Amino acid sequence: MKFTVNRTAFIKELNDVSRAITSKTTIPVLTGLKLVAEADGLTLTGSDADISIQTTLSIADEAAALSIEKTGAIVLPARFFSDIVKQLPEQQMTIEIVAGFQTMITSGSASFTINGLDANSYPHLPEITAANSVTIGADMLRQIISQTVIAVSNQESRPILTGVHFSLNEKTFLAVATDSHRLAQRTETLSTDNTSVADVIIPGKSLNELAKMLENVEEVELRITDNQVLFILGKTLFYSRLLEGNYPDTTRLIPKESDTLITFNATELLAAINRASLLSHESRNNVVKLLISESGAKITGNSPDVGRVEEELHVKKQEGNELEISFNPDYMKDALRSFGNIDIEVSFTVPLRPFTLKPVDNGDSFIQLITPVRTF
Amino acid sequence: MKFTVNRTAFIKELNDVSRAITSKTTIPVLTGLKLVAEADGLTLTGSDADISIQTTLSIADEAAALSIEKTGAIVLPARFFSDIVKQLPEQQMTIEIVAGFQTMITSGSASFTINGLDANSYPHLPEITAANSVTIGADMLRQIISQTVIAVSNQESRPILTGVHFSLNEKTFLAVATDSHRLAQRTETLSTDNTSVADVIIPGKSLNELAKMLENVEEVELRITDNQVLFILGKTLFYSRLLEGNYPDTTRLIPKESDTLITFNATELLAAINRASLLSHESRNNVVKLLISESGAKITGNSPDVGRVEEELHVKKQEGNELEISFNPDYMKDALRSFGNIDIEVSFTVPLRPFTLKPVDNGDSFIQLITPVRTF
């Protein structure tokens, strides 16, 4: 293997692929980056067994100025190789297997020779055919992920809850996540005719990594099999394993009726909750209280060791019963952040039943649900 | 105590004073910020017993819009208070002692009541008179600190080496630091007539904190006593304790003669050493080798487990003997960074004796010295 490439173009692909590579793996070859030089281009692969990312630089890509002198493949220690590539002195660099798995990296007057591993020992990526495929806008997918992934569980005691449940049918795309204390649900109508039907649970960790790669992408094609999902982002392939098992039925968790309805600006409410949480974080019980009365709404927090906080909220609209309800302010903060600077309707039944937050202008397509805390 | 103040102006002073406050202190009252409201202004004090910082907002300062309604003093939990102040909703805030040491902070519709401590339990700052005082430019002091503090020791086994040795006489200001593996020395001629003579060792940690506060300051007055130094930065006072003991005689460490002299651009050499250190950091011995021969200079590194690195250096001027010398690249990186993008002369005697780095254009006013590593 021997090729010469523009460092800037190479580093861009290297950064994407490196998202999948961790030093914490139990499979030594996965701490490496796989490079395959073929006649028409160079393929970079990284994987942590859960997520795999593969991208290709073509000899037709002018910015990459890629010239393949000899085809071949190698696995190089990812972090060390990446550090070297980023600090080389010139714009061009040449990578060449010189003896066995020893690989030389040269740029200008600097040259490194590092020990690689046999590319044949690198695991194969899953084969995924085009059956069960749907294409959606990258911005929409990024929004769906950011609005739901906040509610996945971090606890391995119920692994199924560490993922987001995606349901796809002819007309709609539904994403739900819950850690059993809160829930986030987003529904999107598919604009094009879709014939694929799928029901999968994608690990939240995979979606967080994927979301970071969606910035300069227009559209994403999803291809789904029984145990893998592939996201195609232009020339970059993002594979994630799926979580196995049945996702709990979440539809019955969302209250259908309401006894108290109140409208806030999400950004204003978030600022008030942020302030109140300064106090609750100092105290043993991370709880704040919302009081809704005829005269308006108020956030309070009280911890004898630390102090008290009280803030009148700016209410935009209010109807229904008076109410006193306590909740974890961190769940509220995550939920409020997911709306951005819009007006939201908060809907309560009784103090110990979950309450919901929805955009005023967007019906039921996006719901955040929070379970209150019992304080008496 | 009751006062109202502009938050932005208050936060600026709060940030400066907070540099001295740590939660890791064994004296509980020092985790607090001391506030003293007097008829003509508000004083903020923070201290970790080694460093103390005090600053004053005057009622004459229009941007601060300070109005003192009632004089008094309190100590408030610094981090918690600071978090609250930074997140309050309005530009103005009011701070009032409401009962005992309970203090109320209000801004717009938000109000906090937090538990303070008796200001009488806060330690007194040292009294320092104007004897032994010298005034120097803040930019020059910041440069002297950044060029020398890199060489202080981090090891408490010889506490005296954790400080920078400052010697002041009628004409010159000399700063030296060494951790016994390397040394940094900076001499500055005082432009004004100075009558103070002093010889003190200031903890490197104090100087690092001080340097961060010198950005928007013109001049600094130093006042020195037996066990304290006070830096006066406009309305802000920065106190540091001094290290006790005799600093080792460093003058005889700097070689007077040279057998090999070579000139590099400091930034170019730094880039090459950075690259070579990528390899040395992966290997057990953190060492790189410099080879000087008639045909030029070359950096090499070799670790059988990890790989090899080799780079031809761009030499600007060269005279004297051929040489092969090994050193810790991290010491070299610290030293090179302290020069910025200028040409430097590196001066060697024999492979096991210290070598020096000096600016080509600035004589002996600034010297970095590095002790080589024995590799055979």
What are the boundaries of each domain within chain B?
A: 2-121, 133-177+188-241, 254-370
pLDDT tens column, B102-147: 999 999 999 999 999 999 999 999 888 777 888 899 999 999 999 9
CB contact under 8 A, B80 and A282: yes
Which letter does DSSP use for residue A49 in this model?
S
CB contact under 8 A, A110 and B308: no
CB contact under 8 A, B271 and A89: yes
The B residues from 125 to 144 touching A (CB cutoff 8 Å) are none
- Could you tell me if B32 and B2 are in contact, meaning their C-beta atoms sit under 8 angstroms apart? no
Q: How confident is the model at residue A81 (pLDDT cuts 50, 70, 90)?
A: very high
Q: How confident is the model at residue B160 (pLDDT cuts 50, 70, 90)?
A: very high
Q: For A27, what's the count of Cα atoms within 13 Å in the CB-facing half-sphere?
A: 13
pLDDT tens column, B43-98: 999 999 999 999 999 999 999 999 999 999 999 999 999 999 999 999 999 999 99
Residue B33 pLDDT > 80: yes
CB contact under 8 A, B308 and A83: no
For the segment A152-168, the average pLDDT, to the nearest whole number, is 94
- Does A2 contact B at CB distance below 8 Å? no
**What's the mean pLDDT when you consider all of chain B?**
94
Residue A36 pLDDT > 90: yes
The candidate with the shortest Cα–Cα distance to B18, out of B68, B94, B60, B76, is B76
- Could you tell me if A13 and A55 are in contact, meaning their C-beta atoms sit under 8 angstroms apart? yes
Q: For residue B59, what are the CA distances in angstroms to B42, B86, B342?
A: 8, 21, 47
- Does A102 contact B at CB distance below 8 Å? yes
Q: How confident is the model at residue B376 (pLDDT cuts 50, 70, 90)?
A: low
Look-up of token digits 């999803």: A222
**Number of inter-chain CB pairs under 8 A, A vs B:** 81
Q: Which two tokens stand for residue A63?
A: 């910015």
Strand partners, A230: A223, A239
- Structure confidence at residue A208 (pLDDT): 97
pLDDT tens column, B321-356: 999 999 999 999 999 999 999 999 999 998 889 999
The candidate with the shortest Cα–Cα distance to A8, out of A57, A80, A47, is A57
- Does A80 contact B at CB distance below 8 Å? yes
Which range of A194-198, A252-256, B309-313 scores highest in mean pLDDT? It is B309-313
Q: Which residues on A lie below 8 Å from B105 (Cβ)?
A: none
Residue type, B63: A
- Does B109 contact A at CB distance below 8 Å? yes
Residue among B109, B279, B312 minimizing CB distance to A112: B279
- Does A90 contact B at CB distance below 8 Å? no
What is the rounded CA–CA span in Å between residue A228 and residue B135? 70
Residue among B109, B115, B278 minimizing CB distance to A312: B109
Give me the percent of chain B exceeding a pLDDT of 70. Answer: 99
**CATH class of the domain at A254-370:** alpha beta
Residue among B114, B307, B308 minimizing CB distance to A306: B114
- Structure confidence at residue B245 (pLDDT): 93
- Structure confidence at residue A310 (pLDDT): 97
**What's the gap in Å between the CA of A231 and the closest CA on chain B?**
35
- The reply to whether CATH 3.40.630.30 applies to domain A133-241 is no
CB contact under 8 A, A308 and B113: yes
Q: Domain spanning B133-177+188-241 has what CATH number?
A: 3.10.150.10
- Tell me whether residue B66 is exposed, middle or buried, using C-beta atoms within 10 angstroms of its C-beta: 0 to 12, 13 to 18, 19 or more: buried
Residue A195 pLDDT > 80: no
What is the rounded CA–CA span in Å between residue A47 and residue A17? 8
Which letter does DSSP use for residue B226 in this model?
S
Q: Which residues on A lie below 8 Å from B111 (Cβ)?
A: 309-311
CB contact under 8 A, A87 and B114: no
Q: Which two tokens stand for residue A254?
A: 């969302």
- Structure confidence at residue A140 (pLDDT): 93
Q: Which residues on A lie below 8 Å from B109 (Cβ)?
A: 311-314
Options 3.30.2450.30, 3.10.20.30, 3.10.150.10, 1.10.10.10; CATH for A2-121 is 3.10.150.10
Long-range contacts for B210-218 (Cβ within 8 Å, ≥24 apart)? B210/B145, B210/B238, B210/B240, B211/B142, B211/B145, B211/B146, B211/B149, B212/B19, B213/B16, B213/B19, B213/B53, B213/B238, B214/B138, B214/B139, B214/B141, B214/B142, B215/B142, B217/B138, B218/B137, B218/B138
| Helix or strand (DSSP H, E) at A229 | strand A228-233
- Does A308 contact B at CB distance below 8 Å? yes
- Could you tell me if A111 and A134 are in contact, meaning their C-beta atoms sit under 8 angstroms apart? no
What is the rounded CA–CA span in Å between residue A299 and residue A292? 9
**What's the gap in Å between the CA of B376 and the closest CA on chain A?**
23
Q: How confident is the model at residue A376 (pLDDT cuts 50, 70, 90)?
A: low
Q: Could you please report the per-residue DSSP string of B28-47?
A: GGGGEEEEEEETTEEEEEEE
- Does B90 contact A at CB distance below 8 Å? no
In 10 A of CB A25, how many CB atoms?
15
Q: Which two tokens stand for residue B318?
A: 């060269």
The A residues from 234 to 293 touching B (CB cutoff 8 Å) are 271-272, 274-275, 278-279, 282
- How many residues belong to chain A? 376
Give me the percent of chain A exceeding a pLDDT of 70. Answer: 99
Topology alike, domains B2-121 and B133-177+188-241: yes
Q: Which of B109, B299, B300 to mutate to probe the A interface, most A CBs <10 Å?
A: B109
